[in-house]
Chains A and B, each alone.
Chain A
């Protein structure tokens, strides 16, 4: 699996949505991505890439696009 595929899968698994829905996602834009969903998403992403994110990054992780930027810090490049 490519990094992009893993990244998308973290969203589709955590929120039970289809792949075509993920790219425009933002925190609280769908009912699944509330504080509860955010925790499952972060856990799924940390598992997928074997990383541990810092508090500030967990809080800043506010959209599908923003997440890609944050992951660069952890040497995870999503293209």
Chain B
């Protein structure tokens, strides 16, 4: 498995099972690659395609085919709001859309197989993308921001290899999907297991469906991943009482799990002989930057662990100076081959080169203990995680303002507060936000306020909002 990548070279696993579908169908690497190359043959190299992802065989086949052909997929949520989709289409003008049957009615259908269609949009742009550019992921899919993260071939190859290394993934593993494929964490599970020649159980069923647990048990799944909200559900479902003998490890990322929850799962998993592995990452670092080795899940509960193989963490103070002492707070900086090329806002940006040069200022505030383990303590950037989805507060404000609502956004993870002034109806604001984001309304509270607190320069004083209006 040395020096191979998870798209060009997985033909070496020819007869291994790559994919197990919801119906129990077992699909070999050879069949996967045939399907992958067939769909990709309809698109010239270096063209951009919107790939609407589901956890199904054809969705994975298309993704792998596009990477092999050097076609550039933009991974799109199947639940994206239609007006946000048209904004994205206008910004990137992809020549093709690859989506589930019936998902999109426009354009000329040029290929159809296994529940997916390939559509020619009629867009044709002449900007040549950077040759390093492999794929594009959304940062904050739910607000429909046109901002995409540019990931290179080196990024995705190196991150998948690191993950295989520290999770010790072998061809015997059988992860079951719990996360959407367009989401970097879900995608990283697919990438790393293909690299190892393992078998991925693909399903869109959620933890709250009987079907999910039936699949997990009958197909002997060995692992799954979860965001903090997944772990809240597992706890509510009394995970501690479940009999899941095939499960070898479970991972957690996509936001900070409270320390008490980390301890709870560390102890339950240790009794069940399941490894519990807390991890940390960002789309800007392809997927993963750190992991907490399972042996430390209990003793270092609340920590994001140590940098992944090939990566390096440091902390810097407000003046950009590296902090050497332990237990001192600073911005977390990551260096590694998986630091992505930068952002794009439109199709012209796809020609841009590497703007990060392997260094990512994460925007997360962290500290390191004397044993070298890192802990996230805060966040510099203005965004929240709502049930595992990153929502940028400034983008949310501008989306609401454009729709005619005067408001500002603040709050905490899983609880965004939208402060509105004047006689604006709280239920209308909430209905709008829910319609656009497709997130549960429980994640948003709309509050009426007298006026928006600002300083003399007109800048919103967010810190005052909570104090003034709770």
Residues of A within 8 A of B (CB): 14, 16, 27, 31-32, 34-40, 42-43, 54-56, 58-60
Provide the residues of chain A in CB contact with B229, threshold 8 Å. 35-36
What's the Cα separation between A14 and B387 when bound, in Å? 16
Residues of B within 8 A of A (CB): 206-210, 213, 229, 232-233, 236-238, 241-242, 387, 434, 438-443
Contact yes or no, A36 B442, CB < 8 A:
yes
29 contacts between A and B (CB under 8 A): A14-B442, A16-B441, A31-B434, A31-B440, A31-B441, A32-B440, A32-B442, A35-B206, A35-B208, A35-B229, A35-B233, A36-B229, A36-B387, A36-B439, A36-B440, A36-B442, A36-B443, A37-B440, A38-B208, A39-B233, A39-B236, A54-B238, A55-B237, A55-B238, A58-B237, A59-B208, A59-B213, A59-B237, A60-B210
Known contacts A32-B441, A36-B442, A37-B440; A42/B236 CB under 8 A: yes
What's the Cα separation between A5 and B121 when bound, in Å? 53
What's the Cα separation between A59 and B234 when bound, in Å? 11
In the assembled complex, the CB of A53 is this many whole angstroms from the nearest CB of chain B, namely 9
Provide the residues of chain B in CB contact with A56, threshold 8 Å. 210
What's the Cα separation between A39 and B233 when bound, in Å? 7
What is the chain B residue whose CB lies nearest that of A58? B237
Task: Sort A-B residue pairs by CB-CB distance and give the 10 closest, nearest first.
Answer: A36-B440, A55-B237, A35-B208, A35-B206, A55-B238, A36-B387, A39-B236, A59-B210, A34-B440, A38-B208
What is the chain A residue whose CB lies nearest that of B238? A55
Partner of B242, one of A14, A27, A55: A55
What's the Cα separation between A26 and B441 when bound, in Å? 17
Provide the residues of chain A in CB contact with B434, threshold 8 Å. 31
What's the Cα separation between A36 and B232 when bound, in Å? 10
Provide the residues of chain B in CB contact with A54, threshold 8 Å. 238
Known contacts A16-B441, A40-B442, A59-B213; A35/B207 CB under 8 A: yes
Provide the residues of chain A in CB contact with B233, threshold 8 Å. 35, 39
Provide the residues of chain A in CB contact with B232, threshold 8 Å. 39
Provide the residues of chain B in CB contact with A16, threshold 8 Å. 441
Provide the residues of chain B in CB contact with A35, threshold 8 Å. 206-208, 229, 233
What is the chain A residue whose CB lies nearest that of B435? A31
Provide the residues of chain B in CB contact with A58, threshold 8 Å. 208, 236-237
What is the chain B residue whose CB lies nearest that of A15? B441
Contact yes or no, A55 B241, CB < 8 A:
yes
What's the Cα separation between A55 and B25 when bound, in Å? 28
What's the Cα separation between A15 and B232 when bound, in Å? 18
Provide the residues of chain A in CB contact with B442, threshold 8 Å. 14, 32, 36-37, 40
Provide the residues of chain A in CB contact with B438, threshold 8 Å. 31
> 4 new A-B pairs (CB below 8 Å) besides A14-B442, A35-B208, A59-B213?
A16-B441, A31-B434, A35-B207, A42-B236
Provide the residues of chain B in CB contact with A31, threshold 8 Å. 434, 438, 440-441
What's the Cα separation between A54 and B213 when bound, in Å? 14
What's the Cα separation between A54 and B434 when bound, in Å? 31
Contact yes or no, B236 A43, CB < 8 A:
yes
Provide the residues of chain A in CB contact with B213, threshold 8 Å. 59
Provide the residues of chain A in CB contact with B209, threshold 8 Å. 59
